[in-house]
Amino acid sequence: MVKMIETEVECCKIVSEDVKDAVILEGSPELGLIGNILGWLLVEELNMKQIGYIDSKYFPPLAVLYKGMAIHPFRVYSADGIVLFLSDFIIPPAVAYDMANAIVDWADKNKSKEIITFNSIVVREKTGGIAGAANSEEALKKLGDKEIPILPFGNINGLSGTLLTRSTIKNISASCLFAEVLNQYPDPRAAASVVDVLNKMLNININAEPLLKEAEEIEARLKELANTVQGEQGGQESPAYL
């Protein structure tokens, strides 16, 4: 009979202060970078304090510059009963399961009230609307009470989806807010559309104006680029396609 050997590998760990009875927000970059853009806005608007970080040897070799200082690429912030897990890189799929478990264990130990994560859905034409999904009937009702449309079917990619399923095991209420995006590029306007919903859910007052201003600057640069390309192609024959 072959003797079974168990090998335990510490894929990632959270090094952080404890914050009891908080709402956990998770912002990691997916399509449109919604969670990451929104997370940075929260850090600035709520004057959040960094209380820790998540570490793993499987993370990309990366440091983030913030006001000239190198900081950890996946940080933990806190302010006013809110804890934010904020990543500046796409979470490797091989790490997502263990990372979700680490965050859920942290939430369970600290008796966190709920987990809210952010993601995006690709649409052909944006309406500026927000959709939601949750891990329990109670969490769905909470979204419904805030008049947030429920996304009935589909897949939730990245850390968001794994957090929803893993938090169920610990009986922690969790939900995901989806912004509409057209493609994979950074979309501050889509992130801004989440702000009003988040303000209602958490009874806070975050100003989305910085994101709208950033969106206008990006759109102006894209328009200028399009005009430049069109000008360079003026007078040239259009290519033929078979």
Contact 118, 41 (CB under 8 A): no
Q: Give the Å distances, CA to CA, from 63 to 73, 147, 159.
A: 6, 39, 20
pLDDT of residue 233: 53
| CATH architecture observed for domain 22-227 | 3-Layer(aba) Sandwich (3.40)
Residues 216, 229: Cα–Cα separation, whole Å: 20
CA distance linking residue 88 with residue 51, whole number of Å = 16
Residue 142 pLDDT more than 80?
Answer: yes
Lowest mean pLDDT across 176-180, 188-192, 218-222, 229-233: 229-233
How open is the CA angle 11-169-105, to the nearest 5 degrees? Answer: 45
d(C-alpha 120, C-alpha 157), whole Å: 9
Q: What are the pLDDT digits (tens) for 96-139?
A: 889 999 999 999 999 999 999 999 988 888 888 899 999 999 99
Per residue in 168-186, pLDDT (tens digit) is: 999 999 999 999 888 888 8
Q: Indicate the range of 17-21, 64-68, 129-133 predicted with least confidence.
A: 64-68
Confidence of residue 153 (pLDDT cuts 50, 70, 90): confident
3-state secondary structure 40-109: HHHHHHCCCEEEEEEECCCCCCCCEEECCEEECCEEEEEECCEEEEEECCCCCHHHHHHHHHHHHHHHHH
Place of tokens 């998770």: 26
Whole-model pTM? 0.85
- State the virtual CA torsion across 162, 155, 93, 211 in degrees, nearest 10: -90
Tokens representing 19? 């914050």
